[in-house]
């Protein structure tokens, strides 16, 4: 047996120092590792930042069954913005792809892992975003991990919003370009950093299109103007925009009228576009060609499973057939935001289905979220270190498949719970 395997089995079984293997280096190391891990876990619990996972025993959707009995729970914390995760046509497309193309490819794309459906989906993504070409990844995390290193060298510079998603931050860490971090959506600071970065060969401004913790939308018009002035390229992460922002759901760049000014779009298939998994980059053809040659998460990871490709492909068909789906959520978002504001709550962001109910105090956010669940409403409290200290909140996410009654029930529960815990007078 592989030695690491023996150590791992010992670790899992919790052999102590007195076990028959105590004399071997591997076992001593595993005991030491177990102690270190337990200490670290205690630290996380002690800091109050332990993340529990609630187990769902039904499909993703506005109404959930939780394992252990909770039935008829109203769900307000998924990124299922368009309700396509359990759409019958999306599910049927997944089943058909599974039956026709099998469970998976057992291969990366360039060895023997490219099927016609992968090429079709890439073509469809590029058409949807009105870009030249697209490349699929196992996730948008991977797309973000792969792009900066492949594109930028020590001669170049990347300018990144300080509140960009963790995967952008990690992707930038992996590249050797000069790094500039500008204050969140602060155009004066971005301009100052662009001036500083003039000495480099190429400048890339990287920003989330919509920021997931605050529901705020990047000022892309201004970013693109600055990029033009200082000869920079613009990259956006559209995970919380693709499928529903803009008149046809193309995203933040469509919403703000700058589709022709943003060079690179990364996004996910794991949120509004069917919710299964997968991510992509879309942009100029030579960039996509280069990513196929150089991007490590693409080159060294398995192809997307056919069922996942089937889901995303059908979701895009639905969105390209009609803009009714993309438009369907806006009125519900508006209903929730205006009723909550009228009740006295502060909702961060503007016109985005991510509606953070700002509470300030971490304990208040946590007990209120728990009490909402007691009333059958599933929402999640976020506090430091996920959001800045003193800015704890409950993040509510609206979906096109919430009914007006669902939204009103959620607002009523917030008012009751808010009064009970002193968040409202
Ligand atoms: N970028 C942003 C802004 C996200 O919110 C997420 C997911 O949480 C990702 C990237 C990663 O997407 P995926 O789940 O496809 O890896």
Query: Domain ranges in the chain?
Result: 63-82+324-421, 88-321
Record the tokens describing residue 161, joined without a space.
């919003």
The verdict on the CB of residue 238 being under 6 Å from ligand 1 is no
- Residue for token digits 């070409």? 133
The verdict on the CB of residue 273 being under 6 Å from ligand 1 is no
Probe target for ligand 1 pocket from 81, 167, 269, with the most ligand atoms within 8 Å of CB: 167
CA distances from 411 to 345, 375, 376, 415, 425 (A): 10, 12, 12, 6, 16
> Within 13 Å and on the Cβ side, how many CA atoms surround 104?
9
Probe target for ligand 1 pocket from 169, 245, 270, with the most ligand atoms within 8 Å of CB: 270
The verdict on the CB of residue 270 being under 6 Å from ligand 1 is yes
What residues are annotated to the active site?
Answer: 212, 240, 271
Query: Measured between alpha carbons, how far is 179 from 198 in angstroms, rounded to an integer?
Result: 13
* Segment 291-311 mean pLDDT: 98
**Which pLDDT does position 25 carry in this prediction?**
61
Residues whose CB falls within 8 Å of the CB of residue 266, separated by 6 or more in sequence, listed in order: 140, 143, 144, 147, 235, 236, 237, 238, 239, 279, 280, 281, 282
Quick one: pLDDT band at residue 13, thresholds 50, 70, 90?
Answer: very low
State yes or no: cis peptide before 290, omega within 30 of 0: no
Would the pLDDT of 11 be above 50? no
Cα of 140 to ligand 1 centre, how many Å?
Answer: 5
Ligand 1: atom nearest CA of 269 is: 15
Cα of 237 to ligand 1 centre, how many Å?
Answer: 8
Q: How many residues does the chain have?
A: 425
Would the pLDDT of 222 be above 50? yes
Quick one: pLDDT band at residue 284, thresholds 50, 70, 90?
Answer: very high
- CB of 152 within 8 A of CB of 204? yes
**Which pLDDT does position 12 carry in this prediction?**
42
**Which pLDDT does position 317 carry in this prediction?**
98
Query: Measured between alpha carbons, how far is 263 from 27 in angstroms, rounded to an integer?
Result: 52
Query: Measured between alpha carbons, how far is 300 from 286 in angstroms, rounded to an integer?
Result: 20
Ligand 1: atom nearest CA of 165 is: 3
**Which pLDDT does position 6 carry in this prediction?**
37
The verdict on the CB of residue 85 being under 6 Å from ligand 1 is no
Helix axes 3-13, 25-46, angle to 10 degrees: 50
Query: Measured between alpha carbons, how far is 337 from 323 in angstroms, rounded to an integer?
Result: 23
- CB of 64 within 8 A of CB of 76? no
The verdict on the CB of residue 280 being under 6 Å from ligand 1 is no
* Segment 48-57 mean pLDDT: 88
Alpha-helical (H) ranges within 175-284 are 187-196, 220-229, 252-255
Would the pLDDT of 20 be above 60? no
**Which pLDDT does position 386 carry in this prediction?**
87
- CB of 299 within 8 A of CB of 151? no
Cα R_g (the chain), whole angstroms? 23
Nearest Cα neighbor of 302 from 168, 138, 155, 418 is: 138
When the candidates are 3.40.50.10470, 3.40.605.10, 3.60.21.70, 3.40.640.10, the CATH number that belongs to 88-321 is 3.40.640.10
Ligand 1: atom nearest CA of 141 is: 16
The verdict on the CB of residue 239 being under 6 Å from ligand 1 is yes
- CB of 197 within 8 A of CB of 226? no
Alpha-helical (H) ranges within 84-139 are 88-101, 109-112, 116-129
The verdict on the CB of residue 209 being under 6 Å from ligand 1 is no
Percent of the chain with pLDDT over 90: 88
Query: Measured between alpha carbons, how far is 67 from 107 in angstroms, rounded to an integer?
Result: 35
Query: Measured between alpha carbons, how far is 95 from 97 in angstroms, rounded to an integer?
Result: 5
Phi-psi region of 303 (alpha: psi -120 to 50; beta: other; left: phi over 0): beta
Per-residue pLDDT reduced to its tens digit, 75-112: 999 999 999 999 999 999 999 999 999 999 999 999 99
Would the pLDDT of 10 be above 50? no
Looking at residue 197, what DSSP letter applies?
G
Per-residue pLDDT reduced to its tens digit, 393-403: 999 999 999 99
The reported pTM is 0.92
* Segment 42-46 mean pLDDT: 92
Looking at residue 56, what DSSP letter applies?
B
Cα of 254 to ligand 1 centre, how many Å?
Answer: 20
Q: Supply the CATH classification number for the domain 63-82+324-421.
A: 3.90.1150.10
Can you tell me whether residue 60 is helix, strand or coil? Answer: coil
- CB of 411 within 8 A of CB of 336? yes
Ligand 1: atom nearest CA of 210 is: 3
Beta sheet of 63-64, edge-to-edge order: 63-64, 73-75, 377-378
Would the pLDDT of 23 be above 90? no
Q: Higher confidence at residue 405 or residue 52? A: 405
**Which pLDDT does position 7 carry in this prediction?**
38
Query: Measured between alpha carbons, how far is 130 from 43 in angstroms, rounded to an integer?
Result: 48
**Which pLDDT does position 24 carry in this prediction?**
55
Q: What mean pLDDT is reported for the chain?
A: 93
Query: How many angstroms separate the most distant Cα atoms in the chain?
Result: 70
Q: Which residues pair with 73 in a beta bridge?
A: 64
Would the pLDDT of 276 be above 90? yes
Quick one: pLDDT band at residue 328, thresholds 50, 70, 90?
Answer: confident
**Which pLDDT does position 126 carry in this prediction?**
98
């Amino acid at each position: 047996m592989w030695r690491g395997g023996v150590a791992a089995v010992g670790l899992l079984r919790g052999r102590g120092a007195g076990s028959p293997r105590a004399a071997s280096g591997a076992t001593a190391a595993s005991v030491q590792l177990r102690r270190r891990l337990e200490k670290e876990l205690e630290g996380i619990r002690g800091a109050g930042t332990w993340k529990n996972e609630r187990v769902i025993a039904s499909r993703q959707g506005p109404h959930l069954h939780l394992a252990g009995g909770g039935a008829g729970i109203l769900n307000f914390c998924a990124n299922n913005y368009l309700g396509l995760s359990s759409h019958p046509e999306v599910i049927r497309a997944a089943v058909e792809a599974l039956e026709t193309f099998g469970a998976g490819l057992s291969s990366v794309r360039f060895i023997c892992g490219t099927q016609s459906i992968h090429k079709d989906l890439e073509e469809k993504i590029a058409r949807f975003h009105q870009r030249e070409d697209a490349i699929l990844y196992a996730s948008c995390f991977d797309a973000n991990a792969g792009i900066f290193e492949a594109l930028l060298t020590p001669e170049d510079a990347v300018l990144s919003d300080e509140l960009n998603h963790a995967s952008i931050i990690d992707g930038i860490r992996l590249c050797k370009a000069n790094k500039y971090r500008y204050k969140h959506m602060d155009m004066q600071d971005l301009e100052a950093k662009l001036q500083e970065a003039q000495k480099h060969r190429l400048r890339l401004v990287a920003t989330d299109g919509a920021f997931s913790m605050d529901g705020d939308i990047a000022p892309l018009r201004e970013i693109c103007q600055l990029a033009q002035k200082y000869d920079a390229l613009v990259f956006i992460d559209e995970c919380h925009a693709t499928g529903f922002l803009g008149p046809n759901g193309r995203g933040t760049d469509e919403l703000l009228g700058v589709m022709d000014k943003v060079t690179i779009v990364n996004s996910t298939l794991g949120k509004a576009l069917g919710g299964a998994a997968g991510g992509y980059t879309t942009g100029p053809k030579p960039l996509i060609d280069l990513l196929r040659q150089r991007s490590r998460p693409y080159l060294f990871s398995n192809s997307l499973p056919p069922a996942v490709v089937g889901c995303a492909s059908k979701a895009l068909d639905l969105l390209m057939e009609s803009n009714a789906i993309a438009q369907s959520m806006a009125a519900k978002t508006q209903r929730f935001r205006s009723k909550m504001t009228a009740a006295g709550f502060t909702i961060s962001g503007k016109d985005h289905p991510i509606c953070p109910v700002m509470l300030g105090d971490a304990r208040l956010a946590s007990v209120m979220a728990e009490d909402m669940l007691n009333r059958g409403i599933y929402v999640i409290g976020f506090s430091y270190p996920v959001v800045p200290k003193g800015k704890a909140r409950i993040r509510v996410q609206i979906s096109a498949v919430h009914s007006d009654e669902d939204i009103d029930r959620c607002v009523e529960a917030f008012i009751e719970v808010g009064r009970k815990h002193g968040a409202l007078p």
